[in-house]
Structure 1
């Protein structure tokens, strides 16, 4: 589905709004959609990474800064902020690349595209999780010493499925919306081509 610049800006603003609304509380009733936002951004905004990805990344940091400082804490001394925090850039970019890969290879709304969606999402969530969790475990002062590969594997197992489940739910919502828009657009074009009035 070809997108105009106006469509791209609209999609970008919607994704930014979803991230702002859900990133405020990572473990609240409405879980953080950031990973899915970057995946869907890579899918819908492929070719716009030079401006869309940095702005979304800056938004993620800004939201974190606002949330932490509003709790009366210093941003740099927060549990989640360390040298590992900056590894969120390659972690989130891996989600963006996964969405972009899917956009290049899933050309139709069929079973093959669904399989590619599932495979690319699982693969990119896994890469994103390894980068973000691994950097936090090995670099953050918040993780008690001594560190070990076995303890890291246990930590990986504890959090992997919740992150995958949350990302899958949000991406599924995005996929349903995508299918509906594609079908509606095709129907409108067919009706126009048939000479039927559009109400």
Structure 2
């Protein structure tokens, strides 16, 4: 039944196909949109003498104005910041503590800017404050290493030096690392 229906549908689809095709081809084609008008083509613009003369002619009054212009810009915040940076770089302090030798072939630094710490000095300051907080107070650490009081207080409050805690086993049978 389906084959019969397909044949019947194809018959109506292909009926008079040639006439319908000729009618469609014979219809008037839609017109294309008009092109946008453009100004003179750059290639032809050099051929126009007025334009080429205007391009290559010196305009003396404009040259005089251009030579008289002098621009000097000042940014007060930038100038102050650059002065502060140069002053900080110039003022340096010698290291208080350093490693006895350079274990990894790293060149040992001899001084640091004021307000800064080397890693060795930071660890030493943290361990001194942890071991003897009465003698190594925030003020003394700040004075010793030329640091701001606020920064020193934050350093000693938020950074804790390395600490190893050995937790004993719950049973006597468990293996434990022996101290040598």
The two structures have a TM-score, normalised by structure 1, of 0.20
Q: 1 or 2 for the larger relative contact order (CA 8 Å, sep ≥6)?
A: 1
- Which has the higher Rg, Structure 1 or Structure 2? 2
Q: TM-score, normalised by structure 2?
A: 0.21
Structure having the larger proportion of residues in helix = 1
